[in-house]
Structure 1
């Protein structure tokens, strides 16, 4: 049974996605590449409302099939438990990525935020398994991919 608060990640073909989700991805690309400066401009350019953009923007990201040499940043919400950061770092290291930055917030109400920036090296082309294995660690409440470069 799925634990409360844990999101599952799915790899879905583009043709199976509702058009609005594809438009949100395109709007995010426009903003990332600075082709537009505001969410309103991005939403208008791809033909969706700003509310649709905000509703889905944190839930869908473009997946890079070939992630080698890319930098990926994650945000994790994790329980304040001794050794949990070490478990996360060991799991990430198991996939042969290079850890570029680590920042953990001071825990509030038993939860801390951890941001990690990782460089994907030549041996790993698909980060899906790594993400799933980190999310499966006991004490990880949520994991979100913030950026890919």
Structure 2
């Protein structure tokens, strides 16, 4: 999420019974795909009775809620300016949120910007995921922050 998109992207916890059918079926299709029960998106949408266009419309916005007792791992992708101390600030921000850093992958900076992917266990986090993303986005030297996965 970029700094200017930060105020636009919000997450909500919504009961499944009030969601439109297309969103529920998208979640079902994603679950079938992730568990390897089908090989293609076509097979998944056929199995749940959903159009491919509806699946592609909603797939990037539908995520299952994980049981907090099992722990939740998120992957964050970030673009950071190539300056001393920026990654340290990112790690300190995550630590202050009481999140547990599991992995850090960092690429060689190109044109003054480096790509970093961090996997974080958030089950014991003291702030919401939205707040953590905002705090990271607000750091000087952080160009972009995106939530790219959840396990």
What is residue 130 of structure 1 aligned with on the other side?
Answer: 132
Cα separation, 2, equivalents of 1:52 and 1:110: 39
TM-score by length of 2: 0.74
Is 1:147 the counterpart of 2:112 in the alignment?
no
Q: How does 1:9-88 map to 2 (within 5 A)?
A: 9-14=10-15, 15=17, 17-64=19-66, 66-82=67-83, 83-88=85-90
2:98 alignment partner, one of 93, 96, 99: 96
Residues 113/52 of structure 1: CA separation in 2 closer, same or farther (3 Å cut): farther
Q: CA deviation at 1:97?
A: 2.5
* Number of matched pairs: 145
Greater Rg by CA: 2
What is residue 4 of structure 2 aligned with on the other side?
Answer: 4
TM-score by length of 1: 0.75
Gaps of at least 5 residues in structure 2 are: none
Q: CA deviation at 1:90?
A: 0.8
